[in-house]
Structure 1
Amino acid sequence: MPPKGKGPKGTLKPSVLDPLCTFCGLPFKSKGITQHQKSCKSHPEAVASDARSRAFEEQVQQEGLLDPFIPVIGPSSAYTPLGYTHTQLQAGNVENSKYYLIAHICLCYPAYDANIAIFNENETINNTDNNNTEPHGEVHTDEGSSSPFEQAPQLNDIKVEYHSRSRRQPQFFSFDEYKSNFQDLDSVDIPVDPEPWKPFRSRLDFELAELILDTHMNKNQTNELISLIHRCILDPKSFTLKNEPDLSKIWENAANRATKFEKTTITVEYNDEDKPFDVWTRPLWSWAEELLLDPHLSREFHWDAEHHYRFNGETYERFIDEPWTADAWWEIQASLPPGAVPFFFMVYADKNRLSSFGTAKGYPAIAVCAHLPTSIRNGEKRGKRVCVGWFPVVRRFLINYNCMQLTHRAMQLQEDSGETGKKKYVNFKRVVWHKAFYEILKSVEQYAETGYHLTTADIERWMFPIVLIASADYEEQCVIALIRGVNSKFPCPVCLIPGDQLANLSSDFPLRFSSDMEKIYKSTIGLNASETEETLKNVGLRDVENVFWKFPRTDIHQAISWDRLHAYHGGLFSDHIWEEVKSVAEELGKGVSKLIDTQVDALPTWSGLNHFTSIIKTGEFADGSKYEDMSKVLIFALHNIFTKEASPRGYQLLKLLRSYVELDMYASLKVHTETTIQKGREELLVFEKALHEYMPFNPAKLWSFPKAHTHKHMFDDIQQKGVTRNYNTKPNEKCHGAFKNSYKFRTNFKNVAPQILKFDHANLVATVIRDDIDYLDLSQAEASAEDSQIQVTRNIIGTAHVSLGSQCAPVAFSDLEDEHSADSAFKDFRKKIGRFFTRYLGRSVRFGPSDQINPFQLLRVNYESKDDWCVATDLLRANPKFHGKPRYDCIIVKIDEEKYIFARLLYIFGLQVLDKEYHMALILPMDLPPDLENRGRDNDLRFNRVKARHRSLSVFISVESIIRGGLLATSVWKSGLVTGKRP
């Protein structure tokens, strides 16, 4: 029998009169509390469960749904770590065992750290309920403690230090408090607008207009339109729209709810003639004031620089995520007058094709407020990134491309095609760009010098507008920094590295600073043309004045940030490493390409990971995420083909690819610590070494190009401006899709700029109105819930940690065993599960052949991600025919406090035992010691190799024992795929 009094699920349940644990605050019986407190004190991480999961669990219990089942592993035989103590392991039992390879990137940071008990067949069962844990600490308050801890800090406690100019004391939080944003400002009482759809005459009018705004309707939009029409029939008075002109007039009235675009004409001299260009801008400071005065956003702003630390058991280790947690914010705030704070912008600009053939192009400029969290900046609601400008696209014929048509003026501006690429013409285009960008920045120019006083959230702030981050691909960075580009003496916009040293990642070179570049530029005043050219060429600058020099606290060279999308996925990998892979494959002969495609197709599928059926003959991808996913899986399809014996060049290329994937993993992290930044810098040197060792294999390939160098600045940018998602161009490039749709569906293909921007502005207005309506609905729903005290029932099967889905029809034990009679993993399924529950419950449990179980084919496993410390969910399947193919995912199971194992899901089911539902899984552990045959390759390519048991040695576990999923690739260690049935 299980021991009593160990927790809420024990035979003796604690009551509110029982003593409370000093560390977790839970009630325990007097006989059990001493032992519990020792465990709770020794393993605080085991009781620091995620706040969201805990709240969900409490709700599940309150609603009378399935109680959380104590995590158990037991046989189909009981779990014993094979290869160590199991006496049945003979050669005949392991001859069909399979090997699996795991690269570090596939597993980085497995997470959910619950206190899970794993049981051996011959051990006493320790009946602890891991779900009833609370965050430690009576030493913390809901607002965080502003004084040092009254006792020693606990593992994962958080410390936040604020900039000295803020006059705020350091604060301390438990990990759960920090994740729950307890340190944020108090909630603001935001007044509810009872008619947020104004100036639309009714809510229904707006909702139909909102739908019409997007004419590229899918099935859901079509159904929504039909639903709205039916509502009109039921309540005809609420629908007042008459026709399209009536709707357009209302949109014009609604336009005042957001800062509108303005048209300006700039002139730039070329060949002794002034050339006019139209620029459309949304005044930057007017848009900023809208954000600052929006009561829905006021509590989301972060004003002061912060240093965040997490206690690792020995010391507080600093971590960085948002821009205000990094160094640049801290340093700039220190440089401002006492009492002043910065107001930081992030900017992005890039021209893109509007038409399929690229004959029509648009050149939007995007702005983002750096003071808002990532979830808002990259979201779709108020506070998101917005278009603040539309630049002219200067073409070879100098067409005024805002109008997207050849006008008489454009024909007059036609030049000799021989001008294309000439220095004078290139400089002319740069002048157009910087004059156009000045029109965007003009509204903040004065305040960049003097600051601007504004009362927001009842606090008067003295703000200095500054561009903190410039997000752009390399080509656009050259335009922003006004450097000469890839073929210049110094092609980096951030540092002065010589062009022939771009593959040198271990040496440091002087950084560029705006003040230095401006001095050099101004030193050429009065020099003749050749002297000016020589002076500027020696630092890679163009003979053009940079608009950002007008803003003294903006250093554009330091604002320019490393772009993961174009530097890695659409650059270093797609254009260089991948091309080398195809070259090696071609060297090895015709059959190799087919073999690579076969092995890529055989790799397991995974939610959120692109699956490739073939890659060698595939053309270019427009989507950088395809290259990102390809780089992750490619090494698993190549390691037995690009061997040291078959292709020394290919083998060295795999080592280079391995290091690239590691670097991309570090680049992808949403939270960086001092440790991960240091590890990333070390990996950069590993990459450099692998690259230089690869170079002799293909001397014709030159690696001195900017994207082989720019990741040298990646970890400096993380240290200065936060993690890479703060300045990755990927979120900005999503905006191009809306512009393309507007061009295709909303314009007459003439003079398209004002037409596109009209609908962009309407979308922004619709976002504001929709948010206000949603807030109204939420307020009314909360009021209604308070009045009626209605509780919403969540229909889940399982617990907050693991829930089950894709339920199948009940099946009898006899039918299940017949169906799987050829699979030794299911042999004596009924008897083994009966013996398991007999041991677990301490009483005889037998199932008859006609007794039924409830099969499932999906697990949703929630866990705390070690990347961003938020709750993440893995969708894990055990499905014989998922999209036409069998899919049996791998999982990570916790054995004890120190050990985890990998296993493969074979079957998921629920069954009734003594009037209680238990949710179980049949798994195949991968805990055999792997052979040493490929040890050298595994070390070189940094594989973790695991080996599965024979299928007859499968085991049962509670699904609660699953930590999360794990993506494993079957090892192919001969020329072709390993034979044998997949589960």
Structure 2
Amino acid sequence: MGNRKLSRSNCGRRTWWENTSFRDSLVYSLQHHYVNEQGKTRLYENMWTGDWWWDVQTELPPGATVAPIILASDKTNLSRMSGNKSAWPVYLTLGNIDKRLCRKPSSHGTILLGNLPVAKLDCFSDKWWCSLEGYRLFHLCMKKLLAPLIEAGRVGVLMPCADVRICRVFPILAAYMADHPEQCLVATCQENFRPKCPVGPDERGEPVFSCLKDPDCVTTALKQATDLPHANIFSALTPDHLHQLHKGVFKDHLVSWVMKAIEGGSHEVDRSFKAMLQHSDLRHFKNSISLVSQWTGTEYKNMEKVFLGVVAGAADERVVRVVRAVLDFIYLAHFESHSDESLDALHHAWRDFHQYKTVFVDMGICKHFNFPKGHSMEHYEISIRSLGTADRYSTKHPERLHIDFAKHVYDASNKQATYIQQMTRWLERQEAVHRFATYLEWNTTLPATATRPTASESMPTDASPAAQPDLEDGDWRDRYRLAKDPAYPSLTVSQLEDQFGAMFFKTALNDHLKSLANKNSRLLPLVSTPLHDPAHVAAYKQAKLKLPILRQVSASAHVDIIHASPSRLDPPPLRTRAPCKMSTVFACDPAQSASVPASLRVTRVRVIFELPSMYDARVLGVTGHLAYVEWFTPFHGVDDATGMYVVSPSTRQRCRYASIIPLTDIVRTCQLIPCWGEQIQRRPVTGDILDNTSMKFFVNLYLRHHDFVLLHLLANT
């Protein structure tokens, strides 16, 4: 079985509790976080902000420290191309460690607990009996792996901590990450039943409340196999974004239903995907989605980003609303920080899905909705309130650990019959090297003094500044970077007009300079000289913009790229013309209100440039770079079915409305989706579709989670 000797490590004590590198990462007490100072709106992030920790703490003696055990298991193939070598790793981490640290394999925030046996059980001829014995073998092995937790969870274990204190720790099983088949294996139920709740196979498609299963009502064998203090294996089964939402509800069910509901079916959907406008944060399916040979989580997510725009107008409005509800639920479920308001929005998305899903029955596309992964959506809100946000429990994290703890380790073995024993021995040696290197690092540095936070410090009544949406930060508009030298150091006005399409560059520059001079009449003589044709302008291909940190999205900043390069001819032998890359962005509109997103307006960047040398930038007060942009109509309202803003190219006297703005007025890039209607335009569009003044576009709020928070969550609060 490859047991990693849990009793020797005392439930991870040697790995985390005594390790000084985790001194500032371990949280010993439960906390409540709030959005506002009044303490009325809860925040849910790590496990210590959820309700499960509070409920367990009340059952323990005063002064006890809870160590929530998080398990994950996932069977994986080891051999490539040929062979049938497999491994079944079981991983362990603690809820006391920040979830962002646990995601980094190099931090050793998650360890390999053991390898379960991968046995075919060919000795049993009957398939039902073979399956039953497979269940028994799994629970027998898990019972042996988790046996040290029984006594430790009842009386506690005295552990010396990294802050030079000794506390009584109660390691308690809190969460178990697994895909649906393994969840059913853990809960000892068939795969057409729900592992968490007792709802029947014919009732899974309706939004009925179903409580969690009671371990006392399950078979005696299961009760003995899970005899862990204060643990409920059914509440410990956590949501799984990858298999339940991306692959299950979206790809396996919703996409197939929608293709049958659209006139033209998969061919029409393929044509819409191929005609989608490109963006640096979006995979462009230039060969359609039907030709994707192997779907991964990345493909699912990129398909979700534009799927509502593909369906809008081409399908019945109720179909559009179902797609919108599912995408809203998926994006909200991915939040790394939830509040009571965002959980209410998650519940409303789940309710809307059940309200409109009957359209597929009315069309004769499906007969029922009794599939397990669809019913799993019901348990997301409860699980987040209890154990913290669901992003911590995604099975993509154990799959990433397979690389370090299974696949690379298998490559170090001789790949023969005893490969599991060789893998275990190799891992033990690697861990010994790591522990010794950690000891040497600790021995050569003077550890800083650290004290554990008091109860009042660890239970704040208001949220920290990082918990608030960082949209009002004073310097967030200045977070952009350009190349040291411009890519186009000497462009004439004619080249700007012909190659970049900046048809009104001279007029726009003159208007911008006059607006600066209006603030100081003494500057009028400096701007009265028009830009002549032989003058040269230095332009850049792109600018990098650092987006503000949003607690719902990530704790690290996302780098956004603003493109402004013309079409070019590829070198021989291809000699094909590559299209231009000119980003559509959100820019500040001073004519609009100060609220978000009403203060923003969509515009297209054609040129990023420096003020020509014939003008004195220092005297004029121009301290940064400028951008020549073409505007779209303001945000007047959202489309009722899709919930997305609709814009079109803005004109002045039947010409594109263009102007020059400071580069710092650009907030972030965005993507526009053409409103094709029932069928995508059959004839090829002459010229650039973004220049078609009669065309309408959806502003894609599903491009990134940043856009979803800005255009959906904040706009509705």
TM-score, normalization: structure 1?
0.59
Alignment map for 1:475-554 (pairs within 5 Å)? 475-486=181-192, 491-505=193-207, 507-514=208-215, 516-517=216-217, 520-522=218-220, 544-546=221-223, 549-554=226-231
- The SS at the match of 1:941 is coil
Q: How far is the alpha carbon of 1:605 from its aligned partner? A: 3.0
Q: How far is the alpha carbon of 1:685 from its aligned partner? A: 0.7
- 1:803 counterpart residue number: 481
Q: How far is the alpha carbon of 1:567 from its aligned partner? A: 0.3
Matching of residue 555 in structure 1 with residue 256 in structure 2: no
Q: Is the 8 A contact 2:628 2:659 kept in 1?
A: yes
- 1:433 counterpart residue number: 138
Q: Is the 8 A contact 2:308 2:320 kept in 1?
A: yes
Q: Distance in 1 between matches of 2:424 and 2:643?
A: 50
Q: Distance in 1 between matches of 2:689 and 2:442?
A: 51
**Greater relative contact order, per chain length (Cα 8 Å cut-off, separation 6+):** 1
- 1:891 counterpart residue number: 585
Query: What is the one-letter code of the residue matched to 2:487?
Result: C
Q: Distance in 2 between matches of 1:855 and 1:601?
A: 31
Q: Distance in 2 between matches of 1:749 and 1:607?
A: 45
Matching of residue 281 in structure 1 with residue 4 in structure 2: yes
The change in CA–CA distance for 1:881 and 1:352 in structure 2 (over 3 A counts) is: farther
Matching of residue 901 in structure 1 with residue 601 in structure 2: yes
Q: Distance in 2 between matches of 1:821 and 1:287?
A: 60
Q: Is the 8 A contact 2:20 2:442 kept in 1?
A: no
Q: Is the 8 A contact 1:469 1:560 kept in 2?
A: yes
Query: What is the one-letter code of the residue matched to 1:346?
Result: I
Alignment map for 1:227-306 (pairs within 5 Å)? 278-283=1-6, 285=10, 287-306=12-31
Q: Distance in 1 between matches of 2:372 and 2:197?
A: 11
Alignment map for 1:303-318 (pairs within 5 Å)? 303-311=28-36, 316-318=40-42
Alignment equivalent of 2:96, drawn from 360, 371, 385: 371
Q: Distance in 2 between matches of 1:466 and 1:748?
A: 36
Q: Distance in 2 between matches of 1:622 and 1:754?
A: 33
Q: Distance in 1 between matches of 2:312 and 2:158?
A: 62
The change in CA–CA distance for 1:850 and 1:823 in structure 2 (over 3 A counts) is: closer
Gaps spanning 5+ residues in structure 2: where? 447-475, 571-577, 691-717
- The SS at the match of 2:106 is coil
Q: How far is the alpha carbon of 1:454 from its aligned partner? A: 1.6
Q: Distance in 1 between matches of 2:500 and 2:669?
A: 28
| Matched positions, count | 623
- The SS at the match of 1:656 is helix
Q: Distance in 1 between matches of 2:510 and 2:491?
A: 13
Q: Is the 8 A contact 1:434 1:547 kept in 2?
A: no
Q: Is the 8 A contact 2:244 2:373 kept in 1?
A: yes
Alignment equivalent of 1:612, drawn from 268, 271, 285: 285
- 1:627 counterpart residue number: 300
- 1:61 counterpart residue number: none
Alignment equivalent of 1:394, drawn from 111, 119, 122: 119
The change in CA–CA distance for 1:494 and 1:822 in structure 2 (over 3 A counts) is: closer
The change in CA–CA distance for 1:482 and 1:821 in structure 2 (over 3 A counts) is: closer
Q: How far is the alpha carbon of 1:703 from its aligned partner? A: 1.6
Q: Deviations over 1:645-677 (max 9, x none)?
A: xxxxxx543322221101001111111111010
Q: Distance in 2 between matches of 1:342 and 1:799?
A: 43
Matching of residue 857 in structure 1 with residue 555 in structure 2: no
Q: Deviations over 1:313-362 (max 9, x none)?
A: x7642111111011111111121111111111110112122224572221
Q: Distance in 2 between matches of 1:388 and 1:827?
A: 68
Alignment equivalent of 2:159, drawn from 446, 454, 461: 454
The change in CA–CA distance for 1:746 and 1:297 in structure 2 (over 3 A counts) is: same
- 2:646 counterpart residue number: 945
Query: What is the one-letter code of the residue matched to 2:663?
Result: V
Query: What is the one-letter code of the residue matched to 2:286?
Result: T
- 2:45 counterpart residue number: 321
Q: Distance in 2 between matches of 1:954 and 1:763?
A: 62
Q: Distance in 2 between matches of 1:701 and 1:757?
A: 49
The change in CA–CA distance for 1:455 and 1:771 in structure 2 (over 3 A counts) is: closer
Q: How far is the alpha carbon of 1:947 from its aligned partner? A: 1.8
Q: Is the 8 A contact 1:569 1:625 kept in 2?
A: no
The change in CA–CA distance for 1:348 and 1:368 in structure 2 (over 3 A counts) is: same
- RMSD of the alignment, in Å? 3.1
Q: How far is the alpha carbon of 1:830 from its aligned partner? A: 5.2
Q: Distance in 1 between matches of 2:435 and 2:689?
A: 52
Q: Is the 8 A contact 2:633 2:647 kept in 1?
A: yes
Q: Distance in 2 between matches of 1:708 and 1:839?
A: 61
The change in CA–CA distance for 1:924 and 1:712 in structure 2 (over 3 A counts) is: same
Alignment equivalent of 1:981, drawn from 688, 696, 701: 688
Q: Is the 8 A contact 2:89 2:115 kept in 1?
A: yes
Q: How far is the alpha carbon of 1:864 from its aligned partner? A: 2.2
Q: How far is the alpha carbon of 1:752 from its aligned partner? A: 1.5
Q: Is the 8 A contact 1:621 1:627 kept in 2?
A: no
Query: What is the one-letter code of the residue matched to 2:374?
Result: A
Q: Distance in 2 between matches of 1:358 and 1:735?
A: 22
Alignment equivalent of 2:368, drawn from 694, 698, 702: 702
Alignment map for 1:26-175 (pairs within 5 Å)? none
Q: Is the 8 A contact 2:502 2:628 kept in 1?
A: no
Q: Is the 8 A contact 1:802 1:861 kept in 2?
A: yes
Q: How far is the alpha carbon of 1:954 from its aligned partner? A: 0.9
Alignment equivalent of 2:64, drawn from 324, 340, 350: 340
The change in CA–CA distance for 1:453 and 1:879 in structure 2 (over 3 A counts) is: same
Q: Deviations over 1:788-844 (max 9, x none)?
A: xxxxxxxxxx98522224831312443544534865353645544544544466402
The change in CA–CA distance for 1:753 and 1:605 in structure 2 (over 3 A counts) is: farther
Q: Is the 8 A contact 2:602 2:634 kept in 1?
A: no
- The SS at the match of 1:709 is helix
- The SS at the match of 1:381 is helix
- 1:54 counterpart residue number: none
Q: Deviations over 1:196-219 (max 9, x none)?
A: xxxxxxxxxxxxxxxxxxxxxxxx
- 2:380 counterpart residue number: 714
Question: Identity percentage over the alignment?
Answer: 18
Q: Distance in 1 between matches of 2:429 and 2:353?
A: 48
- 2:564 counterpart residue number: 878
Q: Is the 8 A contact 2:149 2:171 kept in 1?
A: yes
Query: What is the one-letter code of the residue matched to 1:890?
Result: T
Q: Distance in 1 between matches of 2:170 and 2:500?
A: 74
Q: Distance in 2 between matches of 1:468 and 1:561?
A: 10
Q: Distance in 1 between matches of 2:279 and 2:688?
A: 20
Matching of residue 726 in structure 1 with residue 396 in structure 2: no
Q: Distance in 2 between matches of 1:970 and 1:443?
A: 60
Query: What is the one-letter code of the residue matched to 1:639?
Result: A
Q: How far is the alpha carbon of 1:547 from its aligned partner? A: 5.7
Alignment map for 1:920-935 (pairs within 5 Å)? 920-927=626-633
TM-score, normalization: structure 2?
0.80
Q: Distance in 2 between matches of 1:464 and 1:830?
A: 69
Gaps spanning 5+ residues in structure 1: where? 1-277, 398-413, 523-543, 645-650, 780-797
Larger radius of gyration: 1
Q: How far is the alpha carbon of 1:902 from its aligned partner? A: 1.8
- The SS at the match of 2:539 is strand
